[in-house]
Chains A and B, each alone.
Chain A
Amino acid sequence: MSAIPQLSAGSGPDPAYALVASGNLRRRQAKSRAFEVVTLAAAGIAVLMLLILVYYAASRGLSQLSFSFLFGTLPLLNGSVGPLPGGIGPALAGTVELSLIGTIVALPVGVLTAIYVSEFSGPRGRRVVETYLNLMAGLPTIIAGVFIALLIANNLGQSAIAGGLALAIVEVPLIARASLESISRVPGTLREAADALGVARWRTVLGVILPTASNSIVTATILAVARAAGETAPLLFTCTLFSQNYAFNPLHSVASVPLELFSLMESGDPQAVDKAWGAAFLLMVTILIVNILARVWLRRSERKRGL
């Protein structure tokens, strides 16, 4: 409290005196107001950054969007002269496939981990698993790629499964932590009611707790997929050897939007860069819209349930 200066002791008998800021008080108020302006400006800068990024990507990428861009096969990047044919169709399909593989692995692992921590582990187990989940969430995503490359891709070759597993490493902590939070927000009365009725533990978990927490778990999964769909680093060593055409075999590499964008922009060819902008705009706007929708939906459903 010592940081707060004393009020100036100059107030006389006039009762109106203290109502008009003067001298020291005016200076303190000016300082406070200046600080408020600084925080407002900081928030403004952040929002402005977002708007500039979206606007700039739109201004360069929007004109690229066309039917042939969305569905055409990938362009060949070997210094071709003239307009570069092709689109990102296989990459879009591949990103969907990779996200699907990642989520099929990450959703059960994440939810089971949350159930273990909330229902079965003691406080000590909870602390250990939470610590490891936080470590996993802070793991540089490129390390996930390096790990899967060393574990799978270097022995069995690159594949969509390897890429999906690398994405799963990114998704698991996101899903697990959000599931854990929503499970621990399930009212204790529900659990007690189930116990009082003699319901077995597994029925309580599957029939009461998970359905109550399901909205948050679904939202967290959607957000995790949106995150994974934009990741390049986990795929860089695990799922890059793809062809120009549509391919779906999970035992071989499939194309993906982030990696295709990465190689388009690395090529430096102006036409390829134009296509990269189209892909960047599409990726960014899709991910932002999914994020917004998921949050709005979660808030609405929570309000409806009075949580």
Chain B
Amino acid sequence: MLDARANRTLKWLAFAGGALVFLTMFAIAYKVIEGATMAFDKYGLSFMTHMSWNASAGTFHASSFIYGSVVTSVVSVVISAVLGVSIGLFLALMAPRRVAAVIGPLVEMLAAIPSVVLGLIGIYLICPFIASTIEPALHTTLGFLPIFGAPQSVGNSLFAASLVLVIMVVPIIAALTRDLFLTVPRELRDGAEALGSTRWEVIRGVVLPTTSSGVIAACVLGFGRAIGEAIAVSQVAGDQPLAHLNLFLGGNTLASALALQLPNPVSNLHTSALFYCAAILFAFGLITNLIAQRISRSFNRSHVRRVRPAKPNASSAISASPQ
């Protein structure tokens, strides 16, 4: 009798915990959209297609922020994918186990650095460095590409924001892909090596093809992490409501605009427009996360379960979201 009641209590408590997670996500969506209604009624969808953000004049169109968010995230994910997948391969397949046991956690430590500290380091170390060195170098060598236009004297730019984001995204992609590469069955790799493949050929011919969808899911998760970062980006992006093709000019992102402007809005419409930005950001985060989960779920179904059904941890390797 007592056991039955205790069982039921525990079950309901546990259910309440699960339901709270469920409800919180709905409550967030509801509250943010509710906050955005004023701006939505006034601007509709043109909020996302026009570009003029002037708080004192009272006009709010956020396409420059959306542009900045997407561009910084794409650039940082492209760089981080190259770096992160290489690190994942190194840790999973190249390095001796003892070396990997030291370097792996060190790489993950990058993700533990608070974003506000990265913002400070971004202002005083990264921005001056790229303004004096990287941007001129890229402009002289690859200046025929419009994205590498003439640099400014100050380093605060979308490019600087992308580089700061790389520091946050690399550890995510590296950790996720390392776990992924470890799920590739040893027999497949040994088989390829027995056929005379070099290490690179094993990776190119066996490891990457069997894990490609998981790698993409990891990159999508990295994108979601990059697009949501507010504090560090707000310090280095330049804080201008403009969208330039030239990465070396200042811009702003949705999250960074929220961080900079929501603490002291000038009007109710301004506040509501910022909530509209938050709603767009929320939608971006949801969509990228759902895409990543869908990719990794189909990956787990088609690959891991069929190839090695005995390892329960393999499926959790990629379901982990950015930390």
Pairwise interchain contact B171-A150, C-beta atoms closer than 8 A: no
Would A40 and B94 count as touching, CB distance under 8 A?
Answer: yes
Q: Roughly how many angstroms separate A119 CA and B11 CA in the complex, as a whole number?
A: 9
Are A3 and B201 CB-contacts (below 8 A) given A39-B94, A135-B290? Answer: yes
In the docked arrangement, what's the CA distance between A202 and B2, Å? 11
CA distance A280 to B121 in the complex (A): 9
Q: Are A50 and B21 in contact (CB under 8 A)?
A: no
| B22 proximity list for chain A (CB < 8 A) | 128-129, 132
Is there an interface contact between A42 and B27, defined as CB atoms closer than 8 Å?
A: no
Q: Is A56 an interface residue when CB atoms closer than 8 A count as contact? A: yes
Interface string of A246-276 (1 = CB under 8 A from B): 0000000000001001100100000001001
8 A Cβ contacts from B226-268 to A: 227-231, 235, 255, 258-259, 262-263
In the complex, which residues of chain B have a beta carbon less than 8 angstroms from the beta carbon of A115? 10, 14, 17
User: For the complex, is B298 an interface residue (Cβ under 8 Å from A)?
Assistant: no
- Tell me, rounded to whole Å, the shortest Cβ–Cβ distance linking A94 to chain B: 15
A113–B258 CB distance below 8 A: no
**Contact at A142–B205, with CB atoms within 8 Å?**
no
The distance from the CB of B201 to the nearest CB of chain A, in whole angstroms, is 5
Q: What class of interface size applies to chain B in its complex with A?
A: 35 or more
Give the distance to chain A from B90, nearest Cβ to Cβ, in Å: 4
Residues from chain A with a CB closer than 8 A to the CB of B45 are none
Residues of B within 8 A of A (CB): 3, 6-7, 9-11, 13-18, 20-22, 24-25, 27-28, 31-32, 34-35, 82-84, 86-87, 89-91, 94-95, 103, 105-107, 109-110, 112-121, 123-125, 167, 170-171, 174, 192, 195-201, 203-205, 221, 224-225, 227-231, 235, 255, 258-259, 262-263, 275, 278, 281-282, 285-286, 288-290, 292-293, 312-313, 316, 319-323
What is the interface of chain A, defined by CB distance below 8 A to chain B?
1, 3-5, 7, 28-29, 31-32, 35-36, 38-43, 45-47, 49-50, 52-53, 56-57, 60, 108-113, 115-117, 119-121, 125, 128-144, 146-147, 149-151, 169, 172-174, 176-177, 181, 184-185, 200-203, 205-206, 226-227, 229-233, 236-237, 240, 258, 261-262, 265, 273, 276-277, 280, 283-284, 287-288, 291-292, 295
